[in-house]
């Protein structure tokens, strides 16, 4: 038999077994057979047909292997084994929260309510009679704390406690200084301080 036929047969065998390796899990045995067949085809072409035939066989291997593998991997998810190994990608509606619910939650930003349970940091809040899942922006909150909605995360509200505003005095009275008798918050200078009493 002509050695050129052997070269072509080994190339076809190597590429076919490479495709089979993608579809049939063999622990690398089919991959090894494929590589062995391709290397044998290139070596036979160089030894029996000359440098030109060897370079042609090498070029076929270099171009055909990536092309065959890309086609095999493109078909693989459509096969029964591929469907079991690679589950289908989830639909966008299954991954993203309900847009109507998110719009409703965004409308609640700025509203106040009370914590319906402890937020550690997750829990529930009650706003206008509606119980909604929420998380605390700061630390944990006890049940019954007045809160304000500051954001939305997923399908939950982000809340923080509403602190009562204390009256800020316009001018605070400084404590009376025992050394000088004056209402100055500053310590007296060394000259004014009486060291004899010590």
The enclosing domain of 146 has a CATH number of 2.40.50.140
Instruction: Indicate the DSSP class of residue 100.
Output: H
Verify that 157 and 99 share a domain, yes or no.
Answer: yes
Verify that 14 and 72 share a domain, yes or no.
Answer: yes
> Does residue 192 fall inside a structural domain?
no
> Could you tell me the pLDDT band of residue 188, with boundaries at 50, 70 and 90?
low
Domain count along the chain: 2
Verify that 48 and 75 share a domain, yes or no.
Answer: yes
Verify that 110 and 59 share a domain, yes or no.
Answer: no
> Does residue 73 fall inside a structural domain?
yes
Verify that 103 and 79 share a domain, yes or no.
Answer: no
pLDDT digits (tens, 9 = 90+) for 86-106: 666 666 555 555 678 888 888
Verify that 116 and 144 share a domain, yes or no.
Answer: yes
Share of the chain above pLDDT 70, in %: 72
Is pLDDT above 70 for 175? Answer: no
Residue 68: domain span: 3-85
> Does residue 174 fall inside a structural domain?
no
- Of 33, 55, 85, which one is at a domain's C-terminal end? 85
Verify that 78 and 100 share a domain, yes or no.
Answer: no
Verify that 104 and 123 share a domain, yes or no.
Answer: yes
- Of 40, 66, 85, which one is at a domain's C-terminal end? 85
- Of 161, 176, 191, which one is at a domain's C-terminal end? 161
> Does residue 181 fall inside a structural domain?
no
> Does residue 191 fall inside a structural domain?
no
Question: Bridge partners of 141?
Answer: 119
pLDDT digits (tens, 9 = 90+) for 46-91: 888 888 988 999 999 999 989 988 888 787 777 766 666 666 666 6
> Does residue 50 fall inside a structural domain?
yes
- Which has the closest alpha carbon to 120: 98, 102, 136? 136
Please enumerate, as own/partner, the contacts of 138-147 that have beta carbons within 8 Å and a separation of 24 or more.
Answer: 141/115, 142/115, 142/118, 143/115, 143/116, 143/117, 143/118, 144/114, 144/115, 145/114, 145/115, 146/112, 146/113, 146/114, 147/112, 147/113, 147/114, 147/115
Greatest mean pLDDT range, 97-111, 133-147, 151-165: 133-147
> Does residue 100 fall inside a structural domain?
yes
């Amino acid at each position: 038999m002509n050695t050129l036929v052997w070269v072509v047969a080994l190339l076809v065998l190597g590429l076919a077994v490479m495709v089979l390796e993608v579809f049939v899990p063999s622990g690398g045995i089919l991959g090894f057979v494929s590589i062995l067949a391709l290397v044998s085809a290139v070596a036979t072409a160089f030894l029996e047909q000359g440098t030109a035939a060897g370079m042609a066989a090498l070029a076929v291997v270099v171009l055909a292997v990536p092309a065959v593998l890309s086609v095999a991997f493109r078909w693989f998810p459509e096969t029964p084994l591929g469907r079991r190994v690679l589950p289908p990608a989830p639909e966008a509606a299954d991954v993203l929260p309900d847009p109507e619910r998110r719009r409703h939650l965004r409308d609640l930003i700025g509203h106040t309510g009370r914590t319906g349970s402890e937020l550690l940091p997750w829990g529930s809040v009650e706003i206008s009679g509606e119980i909604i899942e929420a998380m605390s922006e700061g630390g944990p909150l006890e049940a019954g704390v007045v809160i304000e909605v500051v954001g939305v995360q997923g399908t939950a509200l982000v809340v923080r406690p509403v602190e009562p505003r204390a009256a800020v005095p316009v001018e605070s009275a400084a404590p009376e200084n025992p050394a000088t008798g004056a209402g100055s918050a500053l310590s007296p200078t060394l000259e004014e301080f009486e060291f004899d009493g010590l």
